[in-house]
Chain A
């Protein structure tokens, strides 16, 4: 029962990633695609947690924090690039 419901939840999360991929391909503007990528990263975190429950190991729990950090850094870099055109500023006085 427990494992069947876990597989059902994994299928639901896979469907939600499919919806995000639809927005990633179709999305009319670039910020739509960045929103979809950020949400894919967040959903991948929960898929990792559920896979570590299914496989009954706690070796993947560090990967959760790592995916969260990388997703946030990616979103911040994309939005800095969209707003200013550069990611790292050369001018230190502005």
Chain B
């Protein structure tokens, strides 16, 4: 394995690890389920795609082109945002409260039911 290709693989893997770590910090520190899902479904997806592209380049340089790895990259790129959307939608419809300092809830006029406390109810202050 030559030097420049090793450098490229390492760059992809390090960028992917950085994005995965940023996603974990976001999941730990963000205030409600919607913002946590925002961190987890975008940044973690980008991180794992970078790491898989680095892995694919490593094995392609070894002389083994693995097409199932490309299929895994495409599949994760398609399904991880869909999974994030599904669980976020389920959280909204089962009445999970938003962060107490968020200012708008436009979907509530369309849905119109539930025990959710919106920012419009109390003038932006929710205990």
Contacts and interface: CB of A to CB of B under 8 A. Distances in A.
| Residue of B17, B52, B58, B68 with most chain A CB atoms under a 10 A cut-off | B17
B23 A39 contact: yes
Interface in B90-117: 90-91, 93-94, 96
Contact of A39 (B13, B16, B33, B44): B44
> Helix, strand, loop or mixed for chain A's interface?
helix
Contacts of A68: 72, 75-76, 79
> Helix, strand, loop or mixed for chain B's interface?
helix
What are the 5 tightest A-B residue pairs by CB atom distance, in nearest-first order? A16-B24, A31-B91, A19-B24, A79-B90, A75-B83
A2 B6 contact: yes
Nearest to A29: B96
Nearest to A85: B94
Contacts of B25: 19
Given A12-B21, A29-B96, A35-B37, A46 B52 contact: yes
A64 to B, nearest CB: 5
A31 B20 contact: no
Contacts of A15: 21, 24
A15 B18 CA distance: 11
A60 to B, nearest CB: 10
Given A12-B20, A61-B68, A79 B40 contact: no
19 contacts: A9-B51, A17-B24, A19-B24, A19-B25, A19-B28, A31-B33, A31-B94, A35-B37, A35-B40, A36-B27, A39-B44, A43-B24, A46-B48, A49-B51, A64-B72, A65-B75, A79-B90, A80-B90, A82-B94
